[in-house]
Structure 1
């Protein structure tokens, strides 16, 4: 039990600096992308923070597997360079038993990554697209005071003054079915309900007339609805139905494959961790980080080459290939020595 605690504490000491460093760098990349949107739409600090919160699952997903894998390798390599693994092995703990100590936390991590990637990321991407669509629709609607020829959907619109989303002395006019419609309002408030814009007119009159009749309506409150943009947002109920629909329509299957295989990377690379982490500092140099980076790049290249071609079949084929190959490497190196 004390050994387990010691090994886990050594992993934590290595993991958190690496993870937080990668998280910070990746966050900057996403923040730059978010900031670039301000050239198209206007956002306050709260809206910027909301948009950033939607990309946190993606940042964790992209940084966590690599951070954990490299941290485990560095932890074992550090123990090897300080002869601690040699002492631990002399007490009867061979590499497989060391492997079993880290296996539960590795399994939990991979399961958590699957939940984040398959469960949370589709939802947060939908929320991001919904947020941007709403803001773009609102940005497209830019009525200026005391200017003629402006439109709100089918309505010609004129205002004398505005303060944020509150408009003063609003006038609307349109012709429909050979009838002219003219509306005046002392005050109007622009509402944005998930991209559907509407005017709430307060205290005014509406006139409907043609060649034969003239009608006048006095009102205290009236709504004029219109959707400025034509874009339609895809509905999102839950992640299960989302991926079920993708599988049935055979769209974005490469994303599903990438999410699952990336989540499984720490778990199916467990033999590589032992292979790279174990070495005799008297006869060998510490090349753990170099080998780890090669392994990470090789795995992602494998996903790209095979995963994009065989799609869902890659979810079981690539792990089998990877585990078989890494175990073969382990058996030819560390297993013989220890």
Structure 2
């Protein structure tokens, strides 16, 4: 029996890698495209983009590992069916439950790893990612450059005529409209430089003029040096343990959804075994063209069930979906596999 178990696990391992690697690559590209949107706000080097990608790896794994295992388990049994090896096993008196028990061990191991991934690694990665972005925003390394388009500096619209290699700017114009006073302010300066002091951005203007005008008044000032503070500050998220992260009120709505969704996704490798056996163990002549369709329908139904039920059922969605899914797939397994073999 140990040789047979090893043979099934070896087939599962090969197919798992062949499924996981393409899914992981596709998910990585999607997340990298999403991360690229941050470059519209702050400058990121290749190394910093790599760090950001490492921070989202727990999410990438959660979008790929559970479904990869289900697909690999189904295809493993489907391959054994195509090779008539499953029929030989059943002819020798081996019960279908033996296959379920064989696949349960790697499924349980994967479930534990997924649970540790979202409960322990996810808080660290999410916090590091948020703090990193907040820190980069607080630095004077924004994508400010001379161009025909303007930039935002706090409430000010900023136009730069020329940027120098020493991180200074020339021919700078700032514009702001105060809606409460119905007043518009225009400032021009020959030179400017961004300064980061105690995580507060300051724009140092040199040799310039300022104009303030409304329907009732017009005023002008000349200055040698002027500082304009940005409202952007570093707001870091702090926590000491994963449990403290999940219990804190920070971003509580997203945490509820993540906890419910990821718990069910962690259990999916074990919960999907009956369905994988029902789809993968087939009479090739009669069901060869339906295995792939049922496999992807099963993934869609499970994932959409989570998305639809987590809001109305909240934490009760975890036991409800798990119990209903196990009972439903077990009934299918009893009817399609146990009753026939």
Report TM bin, short chain. Answer: 0.7 to 0.9
Q: 1:237 — aligned with what? A: 240
Higher mean displacement: 27-36 or 226-235: 226-235
| Distance (Å, rounded) in 2 between the aligned partners of 1:276 and 1:73 | 7
TM-score with structure 1 setting the length: 0.73
Matched, 1:93 2:94: yes
Q: 1:331 — aligned with what? A: 334
CA contact (8 A) 1:77 1:286 kept: no
Q: CA deviation at 1:103?
A: 0.5
Deviations 1:210-269 (A, max 9, x none): xxxxxxxxxxxxxxxx9862452332322111112259x777312210110111111111
Distance 1:255 1:192, change over 3 A: farther
Q: 1:36 — aligned with what? A: 37
CA contact (8 A) 1:110 1:265 kept: yes
Higher mean displacement: 89-98 or 59-68: 89-98
Q: CA deviation at 1:279?
A: 0.9
CA contact (8 A) 1:80 1:277 kept: yes
Which residue of the other structure, out of 287, 292, 310, is the alignment partner of 1:289?
A: 292
Matched, 1:45 2:46: yes
Q: CA deviation at 1:111?
A: 1.1
CA contact (8 A) 1:70 1:289 kept: no
Aligned positions, number: 279
Deviations 1:103-159 (A, max 9, x none): 011011011111112221222111111111111121477999xxxxxx9xxxxxxxx
Q: 1:308 — aligned with what? A: 311
Q: 2:82 — aligned with what? A: 81
Distance 1:56 1:10, change over 3 A: same
Deviations 1:308-337 (A, max 9, x none): 211111121110110011111111111100
CA contact (8 A) 1:54 1:125 kept: yes
Name the SS for the 2:232 alignment partner: coil
Unmatched 5+ residue regions in structure 2? Answer: 146-152, 154-163, 169-193, 203-228
| Distance (Å, rounded) in 1 between the aligned partners of 2:138 and 2:319 | 43
Q: 1:254 — aligned with what? A: 257
Which residue of the other structure, out of 322, 325, 340, is the alignment partner of 1:322?
A: 325
Q: 2:274 — aligned with what? A: 271
Distance 1:230 1:127, change over 3 A: same
| Distance (Å, rounded) in 2 between the aligned partners of 1:39 and 1:251 | 24
| Distance (Å, rounded) in 2 between the aligned partners of 1:310 and 1:6 | 42
| Distance (Å, rounded) in 1 between the aligned partners of 2:292 and 2:300 | 12
Q: 2:118 — aligned with what? A: 117
Deviations 1:49-108 (A, max 9, x none): 111111111111111111110110011001001101111112222210111111011011
TM-score with structure 2 setting the length: 0.73
- Pairwise CA RMSD: 3.3
Distance 1:45 1:231, change over 3 A: closer
| Distance (Å, rounded) in 1 between the aligned partners of 2:32 and 2:140 | 21
| Distance (Å, rounded) in 2 between the aligned partners of 1:142 and 1:298 | 44
